[in-house]
Amino acid sequence: MEKRFKVRVNESFEYEFTTEEIAALDARATTSSTYHVLKDSRSFEAQILKSNFLQREYEVKINSSTYKIEISNELDLLIKEMGLSIRASQVINNIKAPMPGLILDVNVKEGEKVKEGDYLLVLEAMKMENSLTAPRDGIVKSVTVKVGQTVEKNQLLIEMDDPAEGNE
């Protein structure tokens, strides 16, 4: 069975792609975050301005226009179709590295209050900068990494507490 992806652009337009359609796209990397794309004999320059790997959210500049892109995979689509929500069923206390990489920036410190979506740190992996954000409101219990440190996949980066449990 072929995998499918749903792409939402600027919270307005939705498109579906299969892995076959993505593989057939004529795209070449010109730098670590810039690509040259040919589609229907038209040339485009695409640049990834921001990426949130865990939330699958990206900000992409194509030619001179900027777009907010959200990508859903088959599991995301199935969960939505079933009317379920992963976020409602779990509380995330540990932020772990989604892949091996290098810590470029740490934006929080122990004891700091964070809101869902706040930028916690930047991880460089595969020549791309990935901003890891807070999965929920909380208090930073501990930061186990520092700028310049190399991390392995699933390595603990930040521990969080519930806002009610932490020191106010």
- Residue 24 identity: A
Q: What are phi and psi of 126, to 5 degrees?
A: 55, 40
> Could you tell me the pLDDT band of residue 165, with boundaries at 50, 70 and 90?
low
pLDDT computed for residue 78 by the predictor: 73
User: Which domain-ending residue is among 41, 75, 109?
Assistant: 75
Q: What are phi and psi of 123, to 5 degrees?
A: -115, 125
Q: Per-residue pLDDT tens for 94-132? A: 899 988 999 999 999 999 999 988 999 999 988 888 889
Distance in angstroms (rounded) separating the CA atoms of residues 87 and 54: 13
pLDDT computed for residue 159 by the predictor: 94
What sign for the dihedral angle of Cα 95, 100, 105, 110? positive
Please determine, for residue 168, whether its predicted confidence score (pLDDT) is greater than 70. Answer: no
> Could you tell me the pLDDT band of residue 68, with boundaries at 50, 70 and 90?
very high
Is 80 among the domain residues? Answer: no
pLDDT computed for residue 30 by the predictor: 87
Is 84 among the domain residues? Answer: no
pLDDT computed for residue 85 by the predictor: 55
**59 bridge partner residues:** 50, 68
Is 86 among the domain residues? Answer: no
Total domains in the chain come to 2
Q: Residue 113 belongs to what domain range?
A: 92-161
Residues 102 and 46 in one domain: no
Is 63 among the domain residues? Answer: yes
Residues 97 and 69 in one domain: no
Is 168 among the domain residues? Answer: no
Residues 70 and 98 in one domain: no
Query: Among 87, 101, 103, 115, which Cα is nearest to 143's?
Result: 103
Is 65 among the domain residues? Answer: yes
In this prediction the pTM is: 0.49
> Could you tell me the pLDDT band of residue 83, with boundaries at 50, 70 and 90?
low
pLDDT computed for residue 22 by the predictor: 82
Distance in angstroms (rounded) separating the CA atoms of residues 126 and 116: 26
Helical ranges in 123-164 per DSSP H: none
Q: Per-residue pLDDT tens for 1-50? A: 578 888 999 988 998 888 888 888 888 888 888 899 888 888 999 999 99
